[in-house]
Structure 1
Amino acid sequence: MTRNLTLTLLGCLTLVACGTPQEQCISQNTREYRVVSNLLREVEANLARGYAWEEREVTRTEWRDCPVVVRDKDGNARWIDRPCLRDVSDTERYRVAIDPAAERRKADNLRQRRAALSAQADEAVRACRAAYPEERR
């Protein structure tokens, strides 16, 4: 899953957790439409760029300060920091070649799917607004 899509989905989950009943209803009933729309946006961006972005976790070792307990000659313990090697993980983005014909087919299929889901999403929004009317300010 790409980083943008992950952030979008996390934002939607936050909306579901904190939104009004109407917002929660709309969010839950239009989830698939939003996912397909986000995938289509990503495929169209890949076509425009000519390549896709992928992500991978990269682990590297670096020096850090590590807390260590030391005792003095009387047996009293205290914490000190000593340098030590620790593994650190980063997310690295890299370019991936795409097959433009396959990406165009994917975009066409996603457009068809989004069009099919659009009527369902519109109906769900109307039903949620009717079931959970909100006051206008």
Structure 2
Amino acid sequence: MRKALVILPLVFLAACQTPREACISDASGNLPTINRLITEAEGNLARGYAIGTREEVEIERDYCTRTLQDGSTTEVRCDRARTIERRVPVGIDLNAERAKLESLYQRQAQLQRQIAPAIQACVAAYPE
């Protein structure tokens, strides 16, 4: 069920793309992922640390209605556990992060060279 809730909006968004945008998106391959990783690494270096997530359980105190054997109802105290994700700072090796960023820049340039002809073909096939 959860997977469907994630996928359905993406399907609707994809349906909103023009043929040209869809062609360019298909041709781009891993470039959007590389770009996202570059942005993340640049942010980590600018801050001096990464941002991670940690799951925590919070207890919500509430009252629940219970039905007794005789059919009457009563209010009883009940606790509900709720898992939340918190963003937390995470220490990183700044030299390793710089090396990773340099590698990502190189991969980005390589991908851009590889996909440029395909993007030009998309523009030619679907002029605006």
- Shared fold (TM-score, shorter chain, > 0.5): yes
Q: Percent identity of the aligned residues?
A: 40
Cross-structure match for 1:91: 85
Residue number among 6, 21, 24 corresponding to 2:22 in the alignment: 24
Taking the TM superposition and a 5 Å limit, the aligned residue runs for 1:1-137 are 15-66=13-64, 68-69=66-67, 83-134=77-128
Cα offset for 1:31? Answer: 3.6
Q: Any unmatched runs of 5+ in structure 2?
A: 1-8
Distance 2:109 2:24 in 1: 18
Aligned residues: 120
- Distance in 2 between residues matched to 1:38 and 1:13, nearest whole Å: 21
TM-score of the superposed pair, with normalisation by structure 1 = 0.71
What is the distance in 2 between the residues matched to 1:37 and 1:94?
23
Runs (4+) off by over 6 Å: none
Q: In 2, distance between residues paired with 1:111 and 1:117?
A: 10
How many angstroms does 1:24 deviate by?
1.5
What's the RMSD between the two structures over aligned residues?
A: 2.7
Normalised by the size of structure 2, how large is the TM-score? 0.76
Deviation at 1:125, TM superposition (A): 2.0
- Consecutive unaligned residues of structure 1, counting only runs of 5 or more, are 1-10
Q: Deviations over 1:18-58 (max 9, x none)?
A: 21222112112214111101101111111111100001221
